[in-house]
Amino acid sequence: MANATAGNTTKRLSWIAQIIAAVILGQTLFFKFAGAPESIYIFEQLGVEPWGRYATGMFEVVAVVLLLTPRAAGLGALMAIGLMLGALGSHVTTLGVEVQGDGGLLFGLAITTLVAASTVAYLRRRQIPILRSVGR
């Protein structure tokens, strides 16, 4: 009975983290694909506008779909981790924590997504071939 309860708790925690990561990634897609001025500014600063904005958006779409697919959530989490490490690296090296007076909102969302995706990757590590032996 204790194992069943622990399994349900793990599954619930994973789904909460999956949804958090997917919602944050998903809500930024509109801005990327619609060409919102802040998105254009960010990718101009990185020297990859417009193709970098579209490519990032496409990778984010795939990550969202995988995060919301139970059998593929671990892979979606790894994708989201990679995307967020790239986003945070861009903030640290080029953009700064605050972008166009957002008070660090985008930076904070990237950290939140990274934590949520890392939680999913850990909880679903047995679904990910390269992580199966972690935490045994």
Q: What is the full per-residue pLDDT of the chain (136 aa) written as tens digits?
A: 566 777 799 999 999 999 999 999 999 999 999 999 999 999 999 999 999 999 999 999 999 999 999 999 999 999 999 999 999 999 999 999 999 999 999 999 999 999 999 999 999 999 888 777 666 6
C-alpha R_g of the chain: 16
Q: Report how many helices (DSSP H) and strands (DSSP E) the chain contains, helices first.
A: 5, 0
What's residue 46's pLDDT?
98
Residue 98 lies in a domain: yes
Pick from 85, 67, 81: nearest CA to 127:
67
Residue 132 lies in a domain: no
The tokens of 95 are what? Answer: 């953009």
Residue 136 lies in a domain: no
* Cα atoms in the Cβ-side hemisphere of radius 13 Å centred on 132: 4
What's residue 116's pLDDT?
98
Number of folded domains in the chain? 1
8 Å CB contact between 43 and 52: yes
Residue 62 lies in a domain: yes
Residue 41 lies in a domain: yes
Residue 111: how many other CB atoms lie within 10 Å:
15
Distances (CA, A) of 134 to 30, 113, 128: 36, 21, 10
Residue 130 lies in a domain: no
Residue 70 lies in a domain: yes
What's residue 2's pLDDT?
61
Residue 110 lies in a domain: yes
Look up the domain containing 109 and give its range: 2-125
